[in-house]
Chain A
């Protein structure tokens, strides 16, 4: 049973560029959440997708956007990259509204902005 897979694992971008990160949820899961984990910090919630719609959003600017596809996979897009966007981006999946049982996380994408 495949867990959450994220691609790419590492990425280096230049300030001002745009980036797309991808996530495939665990088999049977239909909800995808994205978190940003800066170095030495705990993960911060970006947004959550369920039934192809953004359901909740954390305190992140509109430069951060996302999408969920009919197969439940998801993309995170960041426009006009800033140095401060350098972080580990984690994807977490869950089953519908039963997230009280906890999320399943991927291994993340390490984004470095230079």
Chain B
């Protein structure tokens, strides 16, 4: 079974600064997908960024980027130029490469951006 661990229950960052959220996972699979989801107070899970394990290049989406270390089974999220709207719960999630497999989530990190 796969497990996802987020070791930082809470973090805070000053507006316009950079913050990195950590995620480690355990799997015996060689091919899989990793995701970061954002859950604001509205409760909807919003996809932030996606990484395919067979791609060595780290994914980037505007101010969001990841540091994917496959051998170390580490998948951290970097948020640059933090904005007040980034305040939310952030969940790291794993999914096998084969079809119709569920997401396995970590427990989340609560990020607060301070003005």
A: residues with CB less than 8 A from B are 31, 33, 35, 40-45, 48, 50, 55-56, 58, 88, 90, 92, 96-108, 110
Contacts of A31 in B (CB 8 A): 100
Closest to B97 in A: A100
How many angstroms between the C-alpha atoms of A45 and B93 in the bound complex?
Answer: 12
A102 to B99, Cβ gap below 8 A?
Answer: no
Given A99-B95, A102-B50, A45 and B102 contact (CB-CB distance below 8 Å):
yes
Q: Which of A33, A35, A58, A105 has the largest number of chain B CB atoms within 10 A?
A: A105
Chain A's nearest CB lies how many Å from the CB of B29? 13
| Of B13-21, B38-46, B63-71, the one touching chain A | B38-46
A97 to B100, Cβ gap below 8 A?
Answer: yes
Give the 10 A-B residue pairs with the shortest CB-CB distance, closest first.
A42-B105, A97-B99, A105-B45, A45-B102, A107-B44, A102-B47, A107-B43, A108-B43, A42-B107, A43-B105
Q: How many residues in B have their beta carbons less than 8 Å from beta carbons of A? A: 26
Chain A's nearest CB lies how many Å from the CB of B108? 5
Given A42-B107, A100-B95, A88 and B47 contact (CB-CB distance below 8 Å):
no
Sample 15 A-B pairs with CB under 8 A, ordered by A number.
A33-B102, A42-B105, A45-B102, A48-B100, A48-B102, A50-B100, A55-B100, A56-B101, A56-B102, A97-B100, A98-B99, A99-B95, A99-B100, A100-B97, A105-B46
Contacts of B46 in A (CB 8 A): 105
How many angstroms between the C-alpha atoms of A103 and B46 in the bound complex?
Answer: 9
Contacts of A97 in B (CB 8 A): 99-100
A45 to B33, Cβ gap below 8 A?
Answer: no
